[in-house]
Amino acid sequence: MLGETYPRLSCLPGQSFFLLGVRGVGKSTWARAQFPDALRIDLLDEARYQDYLADPSLFAADLQPVPPDSWVVVDEIQRLPNLLNEVHRHIEDRRLNFALLGSSARKLKAAGVNLLAGRALHKTMHPLTPVELGVDFDLDVALDTGTIPLVWVAQERRAVLESYVRLYLREEVRAEGLVRNLPGFARFLPIAALYHGQVVNISGIARDCGVARTTVQGYLDILEDTLLAFRLPAFQPRLRARERRHPKLYWVDPGLVRAVKKLHGPIAPEERGALLEGWVLHLLRAHGEQGELFDDLHYWEPHPANRTEVDFLLRRGGDLVAIEVKSQPRYHTGMLRGLRAIAELPGIARSVLVYGGKRSFRTGDGIDVWSTARLQQALAENTLWP
């Protein structure tokens, strides 16, 4: 079983929780390992789904024999968000604990998940990290076909990735009725993949897709709500009104980016930079949720005309850590331009350049230059902050 092969970063909360993540990321496998004796309700079971859809009271009837203080696992909860009313009632009246697994937040948001505010934590399961993969980790493979567990353990990774994209269109989008114009959404996906690691240009995407700007905005919301993409906001301190306000778009897995763009060959140098940048963001988010690595995460670009930016700016309390990512294997001082520019920002506790080389050192002006392996070590040991 996957959960037995690769222990996950996700730790078991002490109360009811939502655990969201893309399909195939390992939520169900992890839950089986954590709750071997729990009642399991899988809403992908079509017969059970149809029964609950026709008569939601059957859900409460299935919960009735469960002793107080026990755990119940509900898989694919987004398929029937109206069951959350019964979840709420059983948490309050019978002290049941629920692990609510899902691959989309869209219908949950529409149903008002805030009904469980304070009663259920919100957690995310990310694709596999180097810490989880251990000696099996290979950066080139991770950038090529990604680390979604369903794909990672497959014999034919590229074939599984292509099938994964088709499954997303069929199961998540068409079956759930998320869009009316499925061909338009299918045209949108590879264009959105081209924007991986770039500032979102809704007008440009709309022009390339042949749809309205409002439609593109809705498509981006779907990508984010189905957990395939993440929009990274710009850092906007109150006194710097000229800071850029548009977010950057990142897909959650580099393998998905390549599959959606139908790229099957070796990674080209011009492609590697965005893939590595997105992979670093994946590590920051995965470790950030488990280890309280930061309070906020942004990118910084105060002067777009001068092409000065820093990829990631982490804030914890009043302190900031700036991280710039460059894929080139050979270090040169030009890589430090953004980090030197951001040094004037109050609260900078550490500046880090992550690059494609193997040496790690500190420059004369105090900037840490790290290999990807050194970054992995800092995150694993929770020593990113000085």
Cβ atoms of residues 125 and 19 within 8 Å: yes
- Asked if pLDDT for residue 251 goes beyond 90, the answer is yes
For the ranges 111-120, 245-254, 286-295, the lowest mean pLDDT is seen at 111-120
Q: Which residues of 337-349 are buried (b: 16+ CB within 10 A; e: fewer)?
A: ebbebbeebeebb
- Mean pLDDT, the chain, rounded, equals 90
pLDDT, tens only, 113-141: 555 666 778 899 999 999 999 999 999 99
| pLDDT one-digit tens code per residue, 304-320 | 656 789 999 999 999 99
Q: How far is CA 260 from CA 162, 164, 213, in A?
A: 8, 10, 21
Give the H/E segment covering residue 62: helix 57-63
42-63: average pLDDT = 96
Render the burial of 284-294: b for 16+ CB within 10 Å, e for the rest: bbbbbbbeebb
Q: What is the pTM of this model?
A: 0.92
**Burial class, 4, CB count within 10 angstroms (exposed 0-12 / middle 13-18 / buried 19+):** exposed
pLDDT in tens, 142-190: 999 999 999 999 999 999 999 999 888 777 777 666 677 778 888 899 9
For residue 123, give the 3-state DSSP assignment. Answer: strand
Helices 213-225 and 182-194: angle between axes, nearest 10 degrees = 80
pLDDT for position 265: 85
Question: Do 3 and 30 meet the contact criterion of CB atoms below 8 Å apart?
Answer: yes
**62/170: higher pLDDT:** 62
Q: List the domains of the chain with CATH numbers.
A: 2-124 (3.40.50.300), 135-262 (1.10.10), 292-380 (no CATH)
Q: For 88-114, what is the mean pLDDT?
A: 84
